[in-house]
Each structure stands twice: as C-alpha cells, then as structure tokens.
A and B are shown apart, each in its own frame.
Chain A
C-alpha cells in the first residue's frame, strides 16, 4: 500500500520527544542514567570549577590554583570511599581566599550530609555562592530529600535529585540482593551453590558502579563460602568472576591456599604462592610498601615453619623411626632469610630464625662441622636482629655473651652499655653489669697469665650478684680457677667450701664440671670432672630424686642466664627424662628445687615432640595450686605452637589464671617477670586458637566425623539453592568429585584409639594401617618450592 504525499510529508517532520518521567523508567534505564552521568561545563562557568573535573581546564589556570583543583578532585574521591577525615585533611592546603575555597565548604557540609547531620551541613553550605557548581550540587542534594511528587517539575535539578534518591534511598542493588538472598533456605548461610554464584556474577556487573561497597561485601562473602567448600568447580567459577580484596585482587593467594587443602595440590599451591609473591603483591599499590613487605615476610615465615616443623604428627613419628626424609636445612634457611629480608621489623621472623638455628646446634644428630656452620650463622642472624629492632633486648643479651666468648670486646661494649642503661623490666637486662664481669672472668681464664684478674672479676661479680640467682655455683668457679692455675691445695681448700655431697653427689659433680668447663680447664684434665657425671647418668635409677631435682634447679639457673656449659648437651636431657619418669611415679613437687627443675623441663617441653603431651602426672596434679607447675604447662603449650585443645589433659586456661595471679604475689623478681610474660603469651596463644576442639584439616571443608551426616548434607545441599540441580555441585561427571584431603591429625595424648579418629569422606585409611606410600606423603613440602615427588592427578 502506497503512502500519500501528505503522509510522507508528515513523516519527515521531526518527532517531538516527550521525556518520560524518571519515576516510570525501568530499573535498567535508571541504572544507565546514573552510571552515565558526567559533569559538563556550562557556558561561562568559572574555569576553577571546571578544572575540578576537567584536566584540560587546569592549563589555563595559575599553577597553584590548578594544583588546588586537583586536590579538590582527590578529596572528593576520598569522600566517595568514606575516608572523610583524610578528605578534609587534604583540603586544608586550600587557602580561604582561594577561588576553590568554596569546595572546602562544600566538602565539609557533604561529610555532615552523608552522616544525616543535615543542620550542620546547611551551616557549612549557607555561604556558598549560588552561581557556582558547589551550590548547584547542594540544591540537588536538598531536593533529593523531598518526596518524589514534590520534585517532579521536570527541571534539571529535579531530575538529578530523583537519581540521587534512587541511588541512596530506593537502592535497587540492595533490594535485589535482599530479595534474592532471602530465598536461600540455608539456616547457617555458610554454603553457596552455582545458582547464587551465577546470579551474583550478573549482579556484580550491573551494580558495581552504583553500590560498590555492597558488591564488594557480597563478593567477599561468596568467596569465603566457596573457599570453605570442597567443590573446585564452584571455586573456579567464583574466582573467575569476582574481584579479590586489595591485597589479593586476582585471588592468587586465596587460590594457593585452596589448592593446598587437596592431596596432590602442593605443586599448584607452591606455584600460585610464588606467583603471588613475585607478581601480584608488588603491584598492590593500594597497600603501603611496609604492609606489602610484611605480607611477604609473613608468608615466607609460614613456609619456613611448615618446612621446619610440619604440622603433621606423622612427620615426628616417622623421623624417629628413620622413615621420614630429614629436614632440608638449606631451604628452611632460605625461607627464614627471605622472611627477615622482606620486612626486617618482623620480630617473629628473627626470633624463630634464631630458635631454629639453635635447635640445629642442639640436635644430637648434628656433626661438629654442622654445629660450627650454624653457630656462625646464628651470630649473623642475631646481629641483624639487633640492627633491625634495636629496642629488643633478646639479641643484645645473646650478642654480649657471644662477643665476649669470641674476645670481640669492642663489638660487645655498645650492647653492654645499652643494656646497662636500659630500664627494661626483664631482670636479666638489669643485671648486665654482673654478667659482664662474670663473662670477663670466664674469658680471661683462657690464659693462665691472666688468672689473677679472673679472681678480681669474680669478686666484682660476687659484689653485684643478682638477688634472684643462687650464689652456690661461685665456690665451684673459684675452685676451678685454682685448678686452672695448678694450685692443687687451693683447689682442695675451695672444694671444701663447696656444699659437697649435700644434697647429692650428682649436683656436686655437675656444678664442678660446669665450672671447670667454663673456666677453660683443658680437655685432658676435664676427664676427672666429667667421669662422675657420666657414671651417674649411666645408671640414672640410682640417683636420688632430691639430687635429680637439685640438678634440674641448677640447670634452670644456668639456662635463665645463658651460661650452660658445652658438656650439658651430653647429659642434660637424660637427667631430665629420668626426672620425668620419677614425676610420673610417686615423686611430688614439694621443694624450691623441684619448682625450679620443673621450669627447666618446661622450657624444653619435657622433651616431647610438638604433638605429644610430655608433662608428667605430678606436674599436672600440682598445676591447680603450684604456679611453677602451671607455668611449665603454659611453656609447654606455647612452645608447641598448636592449639591448647591438642592437649586436653593440660589445664591450660586455669594455669593462665594461676600464673597471672602469681605474677603479682611471687617474692622473687625474676619469677614475677617470668609469670607475667608467660601469662601474656599464653593468653595470646589462646586467642590464636580460640576453638575448644583440636584443629583439623577437614574443619574448613565442613566434613563431619559421622558418616551418616553425609546423606544429610547431600539432602541439605539440594535445598540450598532454589531451582538448583545436582549438576551444579559437580564437574559434570556422574559422581561428585571427592577431593582427598591431606592426612589428618590424631591426638597422641588422647585416650581415644586411632580408629575412633574421624575419617573424611572417601578416605578409608586408619592411621595404624597407613602404608609406606601414605607415610611418604607426610614428607614436609615446601610451600614455595617444588618437591620432587609430588603426586599429580589426584586433584579432582
């Protein structure tokens, strides 16, 4: 059918567009209007205002005004991120006479307006020039608080006010999220299905601009949920679609940790972690360099810990049986070094690096050359620790001992001076002058020609002997000087002054051996002092319990002032183990010597491995009343660095209370400090492991000890997302994937049989049936390196 000319003529006439009131716009159209809004310079608008949003306009302004315009823009950006104080701080550089001072007033009022303090906002805004942009914005903000009917006059301001109202009051993003998430019939809300992830993907795309905080929160919550579930397909879908937080925008770190939960995921875990540290973290510019360094340091330290002390009880058992690969010392050292170098102020990294090296030196399996190598390494680590954290006393105390031992007086002096002038609460710091005199005496004893000076130094040390440290070792030291000088009569006379066989021959022999070795009596002559100790230790059952206690008490004295002698390594732990067997029997803690001996043993966790409870029964029994026993229990758990719940027999929380209260009442200054420190560290350990159940590698995935719960969980998952089908929780195979978790922990100190340890779904091995192949899986993995025998293909 043809059209008439009239009709054609009419069709050429431009059609008049009738603007639709925005109230009738679809949600999508509203969203588009909001997201596409841009500031546009008006005809004749002041260039100072235009320069706030248009960089080109700044070129025509004086340099200082242009810089102020840039500052205003930055401040407004900060306000959009809720960093109000930072924004106002930033604007303080704009002088009152500046043409941009209008924006200062505007920003101050805006902070109040956002906080619903409208009267205060009006006070700030009342002086604004109505012809300027800030005043026009304020007009819109005022109108946005009116009901929609009052703002429907079709003006530009009314239209903009409606958009503000949509954004801040109607909040379509919140409404949609609320409606969608309330449909999930999940009482705990701790799981997520593919439907929700798919919905959230679309939601994020649509609303990130309008409600960024809400979108970010929902993304974080979804990632949290997928990270706790074993479904790798859901995890992959979520990490592909959602943005990560500032420190992990590409979710590489989260993915690394997720992979680490699966058997055979070690390679990918290490690869992702390396990629995070090398590529992602250095580019996180929203974090300060210090925080970036601290993150790297923390991750390297975690890697070192895992290598040095794998969180796996099998490792310790297997090592003892010789069926477990020994520690890779070079790699552990490298990880510790990276931790220290990434952030030199990381106290834990220095402390644990030093402790690890000390453990290598004390390792009975270490060769002489290994000991020398580690001793050299330790001095470097301590020096670096002291340089990086000059206010810490621990490395300085060690360095004083070390430099005097090495006859490096010039290096030792600054530390001695610093410690002497330091008002630190640690009693060991306050007695630095005493220690200096004593160490000087020991150093001078190396040469016979200096022996008279040794006596003088010992006299000086005696004059300032700490009130919290028994002096009973002093006569032994004097006797050793006499021996060293070839004065046999003098030696006998001095020996007569010593307590002798009271209370026991072993204590006497040990104190003499310690003094002789410290006073540099030659090895050939030392045999005479070594023999009685070795003989006693060969038949420990013949030693009386009070004698053992007294030796332990003496070891505690040497331990706390870092004066242990070299031969201690040969018999210290043997004496300790004998004492433990007595305390597991009839022996009780009923003397000051036994209290001190318990503290000494607690310092070494009663020679148990990290997951063993080596605390003897008498100590556990006494812990309700005896603060020394309670302190030894705290020390054991703290040094184990595992949850207190791993040791259910130990009264950990009650011990904290008792020790904290003893910190106020103990008569001895050293004990008060020790108790206060231990109570704090124990409280810290408690907050680190708040759960009352021992940690489990399956806890994060929601696996349950009861197999019956598997069915319930499946039924529950089916209800999780409305409209979800089973395939959403699978990778498309007939059977849902069954990721194999790592070998689980069981409690060595519990009364339960290994059979009763909850097994994960799909894992049918009980610990006592574990095959060699499974044992091999327990070898320590380097969270940052490649293991030669990493299993592949078992990841779903």
Chain B
C-alpha cells in the first residue's frame, strides 16, 4: 500500500505528449514547450492541465529511463507511410554551418577559404 491514491486513471504521459519511443529529456522538454504554445492555459485550460501533468510525470528521470529502455517488441512498428506523412509536415531545419553560410558575400568579396 505504498502508492498514493489518485482519482484519475493513469495514461502514459509520453503518449499524451505525443512522444515516440526513444525520446530523451531534451525531446520531452522541447515537445512540452511546443504543446504549451499550441494550448496556452488561457485559451485551452483543460488541455494545458493535461499536458502539464503529463510533463511533470514524463520529466521524472525514472519515467524517462523506463520509456527509453522499453523493449521495442512491446509496440508494433509504425507503418512506413505514417512516418513519411509525418515528416512531410516537418521540413528539416538547417544546420548551423549551412545557415550561417547563407550570409556569405560573393566570392570576389570574400577572403580565406573559398571551398563553397
């Protein structure tokens, strides 16, 4: 009898946050901040509370550890088409070097390495 009574049935916090298998602390936090922006407390208080509760549970190192090392065979693999569809909605971010290189001036005006 060590568990605390809680009126709400427990759902996987990682599922509530929409985090895939293998999400680490950074991903958990980034996803939480992303969801909070989408569902701010003043506009969507109920969803915000759910997200906040899930984040509180999911940020626990033990919860993250269990989520990370959960055997892959516990879940069905996601269909390829779902993965492609998901990434279609998320264009890749630019790497820092590439982004900074967009500010290069014409080669004639540059000095140093001119590999680009």
Contacts and interface: CB of A to CB of B under 8 A. Distances in A.
A304 B54 CA distance: 29
Given A42-B111, A43-B110, A224-B78, 6 more contacts: A77-B96, A182-B81, A213-B87, A225-B77, A291-B68, A681-B3
A677 interface: yes
A12 B30 CA distance: 59
Contacts of A211: 87, 92
Interface string B84-109: 10111011111111111111111101
B11 A174 contact: no
B32 to A, nearest CB: 9
Interface in A107-151: 114, 133-134, 136-137, 140-141
B42 interface: no
A791 B8 CA distance: 48
A84 B101 contact: no
A168 B92 contact: yes
Contacts of A257: 71-72
Contact of A84 (B33, B79, B97): B33
Contact of A164 (B1, B84, B94): B94
Contacts of B109: 42-43
Q: Which 6 A-B pairs have the closest CB atoms?
A: A700-B73, A676-B5, A294-B65, A133-B103, A39-B100, A245-B22
Contacts of B11: 687
A418 interface: no
A684 B10 contact: yes
Interface of A: 34, 36-43, 45, 49, 52-53, 73, 76-77, 79-86, 114, 133-134, 136-137, 140-141, 155-156, 160, 163-164, 167-169, 171, 173-174, 177-178, 181-182, 184, 188-190, 209-214, 217-218, 220-221, 223-225, 227-228, 245-248, 253-254, 257, 286-288, 290-291, 293-295, 297-299, 343, 345-348, 351, 392-394, 425-426, 428, 663, 673-674, 676-677, 680-681, 683-684, 687, 699-700
A228 B22 contact: no
B102 A40 contact: no
Q: Which of A49, A297, A674, A677 has the most CB atoms of chain B within a 10 A radius of its CB?
A: A677
Given A246-B22, A247-B69, A80 B95 contact: yes
A169 B92 CA distance: 9
> B34, B71, B92: which has the most chain A beta carbons within 10 Å?
B92
A295 B102 contact: no
B84 A181 contact: yes
Interface of B: 1-7, 9-12, 20-22, 24-26, 29-30, 33-34, 61-62, 64-66, 68-69, 71-73, 75-81, 83-84, 86-88, 90-107, 109-116
Contact of B30 (A39, A83, A253, A294): A83
Nearest to B68: A247
Contacts of A286: 24, 26
Nearest to A133: B103
27 contacts: A38-B97, A39-B97, A40-B114, A45-B105, A83-B29, A136-B103, A160-B101, A168-B91, A178-B88, A188-B76, A189-B79, A190-B79, A210-B92, A213-B87, A245-B68, A253-B69, A254-B72, A257-B72, A293-B61, A294-B62, A295-B65, A295-B69, A297-B62, A297-B65, A299-B69, A428-B1, A683-B9
Nearest to A144: B102
Contacts of A297: 62, 65
A223 B116 CA distance: 36
A225 to B, nearest CB: 5
Given A220-B21, A228-B72, A295-B68, A213 B106 contact: no
Given A43-B109, A76-B100, A247 B94 contact: no
Given A168-B92, A295-B68, A247 B12 contact: no
B5 A294 contact: no
B12 A140 contact: no
Contacts of B26: 81, 83, 86, 286
A214 B92 contact: yes
